[in-house]
Amino acid sequence: MYIIFDRAELRYGERIALKPLSLELSEARIGVIGLNGSGKTSFARLVNGLAKPTAGRVTLDGLNTVADAKPVMAATGFIFQNPGNQIILPIVRDDIALGPKSRGLKGAPLDAAVDAVLHRFGISEIAARRPHELSGGQLQLAALAAVVVNRPQLILFDEPTNQLDLKNRSLVKAAIDSLEEQAIVISHDLDLVRDFARVLVFHEGRLAFDGPGETAIVRYREIAGC
């Protein structure tokens, strides 16, 4: 998707969460890094319309996130930092089926759609399991499958490798790398975004750097003093 921030700003009362931002994005993989409270989450919420700009505008392929909120939400998916909060039904397969079922898909077409996304992420064996039985990586993949089955064009990830061990981190990274969909990844895991063509560094509510992953990480370390 072609994402445009046109002097978009986000305020909560007197507090400016994101200072006026003008930016155009179209890359397949976009990383977002910065210290806590730097504006990363505010940026992501403006992209998918969960937050409305208090000044300026944000568009996705010409769709205004305020005036065209419904199609913007349909075109975007969001993976929570804690995917356990995102999986609401007791069985993984039923949760993945929830979105397409709500759009009227049923019977064999519904089963085929769920089977396809389970196979795509290599998690067919967890289809009948409960979320509390899964590893952190499996939870992330189950949440991702539940989003991808709805065919979004853009997926936003909020700290997808947070608190994962090496094995589960590798599972999630491989899934993100394999996506056909465009992805925006907010992360403190710098290695996750290191090879991204474009990484945004936010600091104190403004965009402090915009460039390739390696260079962005250097700039972020300068800001963080580490």
Alpha carbon distance 12, 41 (integer Å): 14
* More confident call, 162 vs 28: 28
Beta bridge mates, 31: 185, 199
The C-alpha atoms of residue 100 and residue 12 are separated, in whole angstroms, by 35
The CATH number of 3-88+152-214, from 3.90.550.10, 3.40.640.10, 2.60.40.1930, 3.40.50.300, is: 3.40.50.300
Q: What is the mean pLDDT of residues 15-40?
A: 95
User: What is the residue extent of each domain of the chain?
Assistant: 3-88+152-214
* DSSP reduced 3-state for 78: strand
Question: What pLDDT, in 10s, does the model give residues 112-158?
Answer: 999 999 999 999 999 999 998 999 999 999 999 999 999 999 999 99
Q: Which pLDDT score, from 0 to 100, does residue 86 have?
A: 86
Q: Does the pLDDT of residue 80 top 90, yes or no? A: no
> CA of 149: how far to CAs of 38, 73, 82, in Å?
32, 14, 19
Is the per-residue pLDDT at 82 higher than 90? Answer: no
- 84: confidence class by pLDDT, cuts 50, 70, 90: confident
Give the Cα separation of 212 and 180 in Å (integer).
Answer: 20
Confidence band for 95, pLDDT divided at 50, 70 and 90: very high
**pTM confidence score:** 0.94
Whether 47 has a pLDDT exceeding 90, the answer reads yes
Angle in degrees, CA 83, 141, 161, rounded to 5? 65
